[in-house]
Amino acid sequence: MTKSRVTVIACLLAATESAALGQDHLTYTTPKDHPLAAQIAKAGGCAPKDNTARILKSAHPLDLAPNWTGTNYIGTGWTFMPKRYVVDPDLTGGIYLEGNLITTRGAATPDDLFILYAEWDCATK
């Protein structure tokens, strides 16, 4: 099992406990050993590692955005342009990016969305 899959499973197992805490325990600083969100955006943003990457409406691993549930999935040609990190210190692997999803035709989503950092490739070069 890959490291990212283990991280996702751990996130899901801890999600119920984390959900009871609400959003007020989240931090909005760049995690140690991670590139700045501005560096990621300048380098072209993030690409999904595969089509199982989730699009979230909040910084919670089970809070899928309305248009990204059921049989809808993200293609690997989409891009995510981050604005900031959102970190859940109580959830292993709870590192999210908040920003805009960019379609394969270059259109940006109007609302901020969230992604799990572990499910996306966020290059800085």
pLDDT, tens digit, 9 for 90 and up, residues 5-40:
545 454 444 444 444 445 678 999 999 999 999 999
Q: Rounded distance, CA 75 to CA 67, Å?
A: 14
- Which residues does 64 contact at the CB level (< 8 Å), separation at least 6? 54, 55, 56, 57
59 vs 44: CA distance, rounded Å:
22
Look-up: residue for tokens 């990190």?
85
For 108-120, give the secondary structure using H, E and C: ECCCCEEEEHHHE
Is pTM beyond 0.95? Reply is no
**pLDDT 10s digits, 58-95:** 999 999 998 888 778 888 889 999 999 999 999 888 99
Q: What is the spatial distance between Cα 14 and Cα 73, in angstroms, rounded to a whole number? A: 23
